[in-house]
Every structure is written in C-alpha cells, then in structure tokens.
Amino acid sequence: MDKVLVIGSGGREHVLGWKLAQSSHVKEVVYAPGNAATAQEIKGKNVVADVTSIDSLVDIVQREEPDMTIVGPEAPLAAGLADALFEKGYDRVIGPTKAAAQLEASKFFSNELNEGLSVPQAEAIPCQNIGEARAYLNLLQRLLSVRSISDKGIVLKADGLAGGKGVLVCDTTKEALDSLPKFTKEYGPKILVAERLFGEEFSVFALSDGEKVIPFGVSFQDHKRRDDGDKGPNTGGMGAYGPASVADAKTVQAVCDKMLKPVVQKMAERGMPYKGVLYAGMMMTEQGPKVLEYNVRFGDPECQAAMMLLQNDLYEIFDQMIRGRLDKAEFSFLPGAACTIVMAAKGYPESPQTGFLVQGIDKAEKNQRVKVFHAGTVERDGQTLAAGGRVLGVSAYSPSGLNDAVREAYEAVSIIKSNTGTGQFHYRTDIAHYALKK
Ligand code: AMP
Ligand code: GLY
C-alpha cells in the first residue's frame, strides 16, 4: 500500500486527496499543508508547509518519502518543484517540469506555440513594454476609424502568472489604452494585447504522459465573476458544474485531437515533454472552440465536480501516467451531473473577512450525494474557522441530472452558517444558469 503527498491547501487538493484515499492502493494521504478538513479525512494527515518555498517542499518529500507526489497549484510547478524533486530521485510526481509549465506561466509562450500549430485562439500581439503596446493599440484605433469598423474590444494579458488575475477585458481599444499604465504597473511590462472573443466558456481536462493525451470525456464550466449574472470582479472561480452542455463529448475529443495533442507533440519535439494535468480554458465562439489559456494543473472548483463524477481509481490513472502507459488507464464518468457552489468570505476577492466560525457541515453532508470540500479553513480547538477568500466548495452529484445536482448543492449551502458576527459567507445563487436556461 502506498503513501501519497498532496501539495496545496484548497478545494482542489481536498478533493484530489479524498478521491485518492478511495483507492485500495493508498494507505495514507499527506496534505502539505492541507486545511481544517483534510487532516480529518479517511487516511488523511496534514503537515506544515510553505508552498512558496521549493526547498521546504523538497524537505517535506525527503522526510515523508511518498510513493507519489501530486502538486495541486501552478506556482510551485512554474518555480521548478518537479525538476527539484527529479534531481533528488523522486520521479513519481504529478506535475510538469518548469520548462513545460511555461504553458501556463507565460502567455507569450502559449500564444506562440498555438500560432505555430494553427490552434484556434484570439489574434494577439506580444508586447515587450508599454510603449510597444501603446503604439500597437494606437495603430489599431486609427485603422478601425479609417475603415469604419466597429470596435469589439481588447483583452490585456500579463505574460506571467498572476494568481487568476492579470487579465483585463476592455470594451473598447480606448479603454485598453487608458488602462495600460495601471496594468503594467501592477503586472509588469510584458503584455499580450489580444482580440476580444465572445461566447460561452468551458473547461477541458486531459492528462498527458509526455506522448499520449487522454481527455476527461466530460466538459465543465466555471463561473469566474464574483456576483450573480456574471457581474463583479474576476475571482478564482465561484462555482462549477459538469457535464457542461456547451461542449459535448465529441467537442471535447475534437479539442483534444486538434489542440492538446499537437501541443504535447510539439513540446516533446522541443525537448520539454509535457507530463501532467493539462487544462484548457476554452470559449465556444461563432467560429467554433478557441483556446483562451492553458493551465498545468486541475482547475478549481471544476476539479471538485470532476472528481465527483470520475468512476475510476485516480491513483491507478496517475500511476499509468507516470509509467507512460496512459493508453492503459481507464476513464469513465457517472451518468447525471455534479455541481460545486463556492462559499466565499464576504469581501472576496479584494479583502475577505476571515476568522468566522463555520458550522453545519455535518448536517449538510447528511445527504449522501453532498460532499463539502474545504478551501480556506483552519481548525482551532475542534472548530472550523474561515481562513481564506474561498472557504468551502459545496458539491453535489445527482444521477438524475443537473437540476437535481444544483438543487441539492444549494440545499446544503442553506444549512451551512457562520455565526460569530465577525464575518459571513458570500456565494452566487445562479451557478449553472447557462445550462439550466437551455
Ligand atoms: P485567462 O486567464 O486567459 O483564462 O483569462 C481569464 C478570463 O478572462 C477568461 O476566463 C475569460 O473570461 C477572459 N478572457 C481571456 N481571454 C479572453 C479573450 N481573448 N476574449 C474574451 N475574454 C477573454
Ligand atoms: N477555475 C479556474 C482556475 O482554476 O484557474
């Protein structure tokens, strides 16, 4: 029986550990650092960890000697955690090398790669500094006016990692021009100036062993804006569900065949084989699916809904991936649908109020089809306190479909309370609204 180490502390890491613990091959799941719930999970244990320090994470791996290490968030991968572990002889790592993690860590890199492979994406110009961006946007503005073409807007994207921020969707070219000084001050000089695309978004997950790419046959949809009706600031994600009706299994396979496989093949040719979770943020435009971004890990909260649906042993799938035998791995998904409602702390994302008591989770989980994954929580004297922007991911699976999954998740949400007066929850009441309206 094997020991696994899950690096990270959010809902994604909780659900991955929960799913791995269901494997008969797994005897212990160590979370570094985990949250209030992970230490209480079956086979679970938390260890103190600083996920911003590669040295401290390597120390933990050397101390714990896991049979498999799963890296949840992107930042340690972009900083070279997988490389550092390989150097020490730990090669059973789920997560790409630093070079391969550029797929998420550099928008210039992924834009150029897509362009070379004719992968459908927004037209974009990489600009090294504010002067280049300004010159390009001025030229574009003049061209639109001379040709009397309507201005559909512009998207500014910071080249590097920005923790889910670093993207500004502007309604006009002028707005983009006006936003440049503040944007570059906040996120650095290198910006991708991109065409604004329109359509419904969806997420595709796949796994790659460096050669073969196997997609999850189900697509998911996240809700990035904080408030109902897709209003308010962008967040890490306020809720998710799957399957998303915008992209059926055939569309997911086409995204994999026409976009993800060529990318993985090209990266292997360039000497930076991609081994790990590959998650494409997609938009269904009038011209068909286009890539918005690649991520080198599972999306959160989509991962919570995805793991509620995955029928197979995740440890066996990861094991086949590490051995380069992904074609032997089995992926099947339960019929019906799963949904995750994020309960965030009021004030999220700018200044979440934390420290309040979280109550009612056991009662909410009395429904066997509900599971509450923790994100920003800590345990104090046997009680659960809110400790982050996104506090909980209240997830439900229903064999009868999305309506019931959403209803049961919201019933569970209504049972969970904060009652100390120091803070409260904020959540969206319209998760899955696109699909439910159809
Ligand atoms: P990204 O980090 O690239 O996924 O961008 C974050 C969010 O910004 C996406 O989920 C979209 O809502 C939006 N976005 C990014 N690129 C574009 C684009 N080219 N056109 C319209 N919206 C975009
Ligand atoms: N759900 C969006 C993300 O994980 O980036």
With a 6 Å cutoff on the Cβ, whether 295 touches ligand 2 is: yes
Residue from 123, 125, 155, 202 whose mutation best tests the ligand 1 pocket (most atoms within 8 A of CB): 155
Q: What percent of the chain has pLDDT over 90?
A: 92
The 10s digit of each residue's pLDDT in 324-364 is 999 999 899 999 999 999 999 999 999 999 999 999 999 99
Give the residue range(s) of CATH 3.30.470.20 domains in the chain: 199-328
Q: Are 205 and 291 within 8 A, CB to CB?
A: no
Instruction: Compute the mean pLDDT over every residue in the chain, rounded to the nearest whole number.
Output: 95
* 3-class DSSP state of 382: coil
Q: Is the pLDDT score of 420 beyond 80? A: no
- In the sheet with 417-418, reading across from the earlier edge strand, the strands are 377-380, 383-386, 357-359, 417-418
Q: Would you place residue 438 in the very low, low, confident or very high pLDDT band (cuts 50, 70, 90)?
A: low
Q: What is the pTM of this model?
A: 0.96
Residue bearing the bigger pLDDT, 290 or 354: 290
- CB under 8 Å to 240, separation ≥6 — which residues? 203, 220, 221, 222, 223, 299, 301, 302, 304, 305, 339, 340, 431
Alpha helices in 302-415, H assignment, sequence order: 302-309, 314-322, 361-364, 402-415
Whole-angstrom Cα distance, residue 422 to residue 121?
Answer: 45
End-to-end CA distance of the chain: 46
Query: For residue 328, how far is its CA from the centre of ligand 1 (angstroms)?
Result: 34
Least confident among 70-74, 234-238, 303-307 = 234-238
Residue whose structure tokens are 């997830």: 395
Q: Is the pLDDT score of 305 beyond 80? A: yes
What residue ranges line ligand 1, CB within 6 angstroms? 122, 155, 157, 167, 169, 194-197, 201, 224, 281, 292-293
Q: Is the pLDDT score of 421 beyond 70? A: no
The residue nearest atom 5 of ligand 2, judged by CA position, is 299
- In the sheet with 167-170, reading across from the earlier edge strand, the strands are 124-127, 191-195, 154-158, 167-170
Chosen CATH of 123-195 out of 3.30.1490.20, 3.40.50.2300, 1.20.140.10, 2.60.40.1170: 3.30.1490.20
The residue nearest atom 5 of ligand 1, judged by CA position, is 167
Mean pLDDT of 285-306: 97
Residue whose structure tokens are 């600031």: 233
Other Cβ atoms within 10 Å of 286 Cβ, number: 7
Any idea which fold 199-328 has?
Answer: D-amino Acid Aminotransferase; Chain A, domain 1 (3.30.470)
In this predicted structure, what is the pLDDT of residue 162?
85
* 3-class DSSP state of 364: helix
The 10s digit of each residue's pLDDT in 135-179 is 999 999 999 989 888 989 999 999 999 877 889 999 999 999 999
In this predicted structure, what is the pLDDT of residue 321?
96
The 10s digit of each residue's pLDDT in 175-228 is 999 999 999 999 999 999 999 999 999 999 999 999 999 999 999 999 999 999
Q: How far is CA 438 from CA 209, 230, 297, 334, in A?
A: 37, 17, 30, 22
Residue from 15, 295, 340 whose mutation best tests the ligand 2 pocket (most atoms within 8 A of CB): 295
- CB under 8 Å to 64, separation ≥6 — which residues? 3, 5, 30, 47
In this predicted structure, what is the pLDDT of residue 48?
97
Whole-angstrom Cα distance, residue 286 to residue 224?
Answer: 21
The 10s digit of each residue's pLDDT in 95-131 is 999 999 999 999 999 999 999 999 999 999 999 999 9
In this predicted structure, what is the pLDDT of residue 339?
98
With a 6 Å cutoff on the Cβ, whether 388 touches ligand 2 is: no
The residue nearest atom 8 of ligand 1, judged by CA position, is 167
With a 6 Å cutoff on the Cβ, whether 222 touches ligand 2 is: yes
Any idea which fold 2-97 has?
Answer: Rossmann fold (3.40.50)
In this predicted structure, what is the pLDDT of residue 422?
66
Query: For residue 337, how far is its CA from the centre of ligand 2 (angstroms)?
Result: 19
- Note if the bond before 349 is cis, omega within 30 degrees: yes
- In the sheet with 200-209, reading across from the earlier edge strand, the strands are 213-215, 200-209, 275-285, 288-295
Give the residue range(s) of CATH 3.30.1490.20 domains in the chain: 123-195
Which residue from 159, 294, 198, 221 is spatially nearest to 167, judged by alpha carbons? 159
Closest ligand to the CA of 12: 2
Alpha helices in 48-172, H assignment, sequence order: 54-64, 74-78, 81-87, 102-105, 107-117, 130-146
Query: For residue 27, how far is its CA from the centre of ligand 1 (angstroms)?
Result: 40
Q: What percent of the chain has pLDDT over 70?
A: 99
The residue nearest atom 1 of ligand 1, judged by CA position, is 293
Please report the beta strands in 235-273, taking only residues with DSSP state E, as ranges in sequence order: 239-242
Q: 170-176: which pairs have CB atoms within 8 A and are 24 or more residues apart?
A: 170/196, 173/137, 173/140, 173/141, 173/144, 174/141, 176/137
What is the identity of the amino acid at 77? L
Query: For residue 69, how far is its CA from the centre of ligand 1 (angstroms)?
Result: 30
Mean pLDDT of 260-277: 97
Give the residue range(s) of CATH 3.40.50.20 domains in the chain: 2-97
For domain 337-437, the CATH class is: alpha beta
Give the residue range(s) of CATH 3.90.600.10 domains in the chain: 337-437
Residue from 74, 151, 169 whose mutation best tests the ligand 1 pocket (most atoms within 8 A of CB): 169
With a 6 Å cutoff on the Cβ, whether 201 touches ligand 2 is: no
Other Cβ atoms within 10 Å of 33 Cβ, number: 18
Q: Which atom of ligand 2 is nearest to the CA of 299?
A: 4
The 10s digit of each residue's pLDDT in 35-88 is 999 999 999 999 999 999 999 999 999 999 999 999 999 999 999 999 999 999
Query: For residue 299, how far is its CA from the centre of ligand 2 (angstroms)?
Result: 4
